[in-house]
A and B are shown apart, each in its own frame.
Chain A
Amino acid sequence: MSTHETSTQELGSRAKPAKAARTVRLNVEQASFAYAASAESAPTFTLGATSFQARERELVAILGPNASGKSTLLRLVSGTLAPLSGRVELDGQETSRLDSRTRAQRIAVVHQESPILYAARAGDFVLQGRHPYGRALRLATTEDVAIARNALAQVGAEHLASRTIGELSGGEKQRVILARALAQQPRLVLLDEPTLHLDIGAQVELLERLRQLAEENQYAVVVVTHELALAAEFADQVVLLHHGTCLRVGSPAAVYQRELLEQVFEAPLDVELGPAGRPRVHLRAGRTEDAT
């Protein structure tokens, strides 16, 4: 566990000195989980004790290959799973103990784009983000409409409000889904592989937008991803997972070490430090001239 502490300190003292003054929003402390078919049988998957913190305006990437425990960690953070040991707190309250309504007012979760059964208009879809604040039929108040409009504006999608979801492109749809999360007015935004169906331009646009939104709205953002390059470019902190074990927590520069990444992602990689102090990762292909 000392690795975690040193890396977090590194981040606080060296990489971004201003961070230390910011309030800690999310505190994950030695949280673990185990899946088992039944109470008696041996667990089929375990997530070992994991610790990290996310401050306001900070973007944390949970990074790892498939089946490394990323989704489990995300579910622990979102409070839909209670940790087997340890704790997950948002502003001092355990996320799994919040009632579903309060939880939805504080934590917004954006999943990989899911198929939408009947074509609702984008505006109505974003208004669904006001669901945890309403009662009974939840007919939209003028305030709800203003918040939804603002959320659409924040993701640059005001012009999409009266289009149906089915007509939107992948990137536009992702923006509308993000706007719904913003309409929840959360303190923590969680994104599960948000770039999966996006082309590279849209991926970069989304992550830049996330950075900017975190800055404007002062919430913490946690992104689950397997995209090494994107996490290096945009994350303040990286939580590296492998086979259910948290290997390293820290700034991208501290976590991105060639041997470590090669072992985790089982691919020949080159890591170099870019001009802004952020690591760059390249796939070292069979021919050596490609590597340099």
Chain B
Amino acid sequence: MSRLGRLSLIAGACFTAPLLFAALLRTGGDAAALETVPPSAEPRQGFAVPAAESVSDFRTAVWAPMTRAVWSRRSPKPDAPQLVRVRLRTPEDTTNLVQILDHKRHEASGRVWLKVRLTSLPNGQIGWIPRNAVGGQQSVETKLLVDTKKFSAELIVGGRAVLKVPVGVGQAISPTPLGEFYVRNKLTRYRSPFYGPLAFGTSARSNTLTDWPAGGHIGIHGTNRPDLIPGRISHGCIRLRNPDLVRLGELMPIGTPLEIQ
């Protein structure tokens, strides 16, 4: 069928269907009114468009990049007590991200405030920042669960476990902190066998190595001692065997929530 013919068929179907339906109603449901419509083959489709599904089934978190540094506050209003400064860049010189837990409009100013997870010590702090301090919000459908007792990391994608690997976690003197965190950057192409081929930076911080350079952030990285995994082997970071880490790097986007238990 020619292009014009196909378009005519689609346009014709759009416009004649209501008319035929109306005619059917007028004739009291006489199906004979449809007999004048010539049969036609279903048009071939160039590609498949799936059925529409609920968009909120598998989202695990929403994040946004900081576009300016601001003070976080205890409640969603400009004169609430300050908590900590939320910076524009991370210690690794990537854009700082915040994980967004809630929105609230400050009625007096009309401005929207965001409830965010803070990266300062003690771990687990929550604060509020103005929405206009962040860029576009992104959502993820992934979650990384780290079990420090079973020495395992499990990646959930779209509600389904797609990767489960053994890990090394912090020793007794420098334990891996427990709680809810998020992945905020990925470092690649450095030359450090100790950290393996790539490393994820997280919002978690060591509770014991507080004077560590760059703030003592907990990373998820590879190793040059795969024989030590699984076990309590690190200064708090989560160590994976390098092939497992490369696989994780392919599957886990920035902004993924991290639960350490």
Co-complex (A, B): no
A interface residues (Cβ-Cβ under 8 A, vs B): none
